[in-house]
Amino acid sequence: MNTFKHLTSSLLLLTLTACTIPGGHIEGVSVNDQEELSEDEQFDITDQVNTILITPTVLGSIKGTEPTASQNPALEKQLANYSYTVDIGDVLNIIVYDHPELTIPAGQFRDPEQMGNLVDAQGNIFFPFIGQLHVAGNSVATIREALTLKLRRYLEDPQIDVKVAAYRSKRTYVTGAVMQPTVMPIGNVPVTLLDAINGAGGIKDDADWRSVILTRDSKDERLDLYALYQKGDMSQNRLLKHNDIIHVPRNDATKVFVMGEVKRAATLPIHRSGLTLAEALGNVGGFNEMTADASGIFILRASTDENKIADVYQLDASNAAALILATQFQLKPLDLVYVTSAPIARWNKVISLLLPTVRGLDDLNDLEQDLN
């Protein structure tokens, strides 16, 4: 019996002094046996983490970064000054009033495109009396002035009208999670990002509103349709140019991870209107009140500070009223929600691990007594 007590006491002492208590919890990381680790492995992660307690003040500062309704003076100026410039492939319709011989006859079965003047690969059109006239890169008004000036050599006070019969030179592409991926021509009416998305039938349910990519001149710009559509943030709108590509990605990457002492660990998608901490916890059945430490609900997020690896937000819900803060905390893609174990729950796990060994020692003790 003495041997049994001695072994049991030694085992408990060894467990408490040399072993890590199992169970989910977040604390400063300590690295043991550093002499056996490489230099890259010998680090303490504590100094590289920002720990922030979620309070009404903190929520206010986070909300301050949320998009709000705003104007876009630069875009408004671009739209006001917009003028289409003719380019290779466009078809012009040129009419010289009182001189039908200078106008290509339409005929019974010819549409304006067929009767028009095609801008050739050199950017020129051919017109009677004038010959080749370079028009690429010029507005309709500029082309009209050039034709008028040259025809004055042959006609008295020529009256000319120039229109674009077919817009073929400029286009933008809409791809990804939209109803109808399309190639949208750019004409005399300016086309914005909003126009292009609407022209493609809108976005699908599985689209990532917040990470729309506009590719221009081999450079990518990330735009937020949620801010544009839901919040009226016009700073996210753009005037589109030739060969712009708008790609609406799927929301595969817009997800958060919930684990720890919850009813059901899960990966949750972020829907169009966002996802709050309260919604995430509710979607996994809430935290386990028997084993969870309500003061230890953490949100781990990659830090924007180059000297830190993570920002850790902590919600202390030991007072259940504090859960109201969870309804206002908006999660971001790839956030990790972790609910820690209560100390007593971790201790119970230690006991559960020790019981098989203790029973084995008890059996040995009974065997020893029988032999004696």
Q: What is the pLDDT of residue 319?
A: 84
pLDDT at 34 over 50: no
- In a shared domain, residues 161 and 100: yes
Residue 370 domain-assigned?
no
- In a shared domain, residues 96 and 136: yes
Q: What is the pLDDT of residue 4?
A: 45
- In a shared domain, residues 283 and 320: yes
Residue 353 domain-assigned?
no
- In a shared domain, residues 179 and 260: no
Higher pLDDT, 239 or 305: 239
Lowest mean pLDDT across 95-104, 139-148, 168-177: 95-104
Higher pLDDT, 29 or 91: 91
- In a shared domain, residues 35 and 60: yes
- In a shared domain, residues 107 and 136: yes
Residue 363 domain-assigned?
no
CATH number assigned to the domain comprising residue 212: 3.10.560.10
Q: How many domains does the chain have?
A: 3
The overall average pLDDT reported for the chain is 82
What is the domain extent for residue 25? 2-65+253-348
**For residue 273, which of 327, 226, 205 has the smallest C-alpha distance?**
226
CATH number assigned to the domain comprising residue 149: 3.30.1950.10
265 within 8 A of 284, measured Cβ to Cβ: yes
Higher pLDDT, 21 or 168: 168
Residue 30 domain-assigned?
yes
Q: What is the pLDDT of residue 231?
A: 87
Indicate the pLDDT class of residue 290, thresholds 50, 70 and 90: confident
75 within 8 A of 234, measured Cβ to Cβ: yes
- In a shared domain, residues 176 and 246: yes
- In a shared domain, residues 262 and 224: no
52 within 8 A of 312, measured Cβ to Cβ: yes
- In a shared domain, residues 282 and 343: yes
Burial class (CB in 10 A: 0-12, 13-18, 19+), 316: middle
Domain termination site, one of 166, 187, 209: 166
Higher pLDDT, 99 or 196: 196
Task: Give the model confidence (pLDDT) of 123-159 as tens digits.
Answer: 999 998 899 999 999 999 999 999 999 999 999 889 9
- In a shared domain, residues 342 and 273: yes
Domain termination site, one of 251, 278, 297: 251
Domain termination site, one of 166, 192, 223: 166
Task: Give the model confidence (pLDDT) of 312-351 as tens digits.
Answer: 999 988 888 888 999 999 998 899 999 988 765 454 555 5
Higher pLDDT, 10 or 89: 89
Residue 40 domain-assigned?
yes
Residue 14 domain-assigned?
yes
Q: What is the pLDDT of residue 359?
A: 57
Q: What is the pLDDT of residue 148?
A: 94
- In a shared domain, residues 315 and 269: yes
Residue 235 domain-assigned?
yes
Q: What is the pLDDT of residue 344?
A: 52
The DSSP letter of residue 253 is G
- In a shared domain, residues 246 and 268: no
When pLDDT is averaged across residues 172-187 and rounded to a whole number, the result is 96
Residue 75 domain-assigned?
no
Q: What is the pLDDT of residue 322?
A: 85
Q: What is the pLDDT of residue 237?
A: 96
Q: What is the DSSP string of 266-296?
A: EEEE--TT--BHHHHHHHTT-B-TTTEEEEE
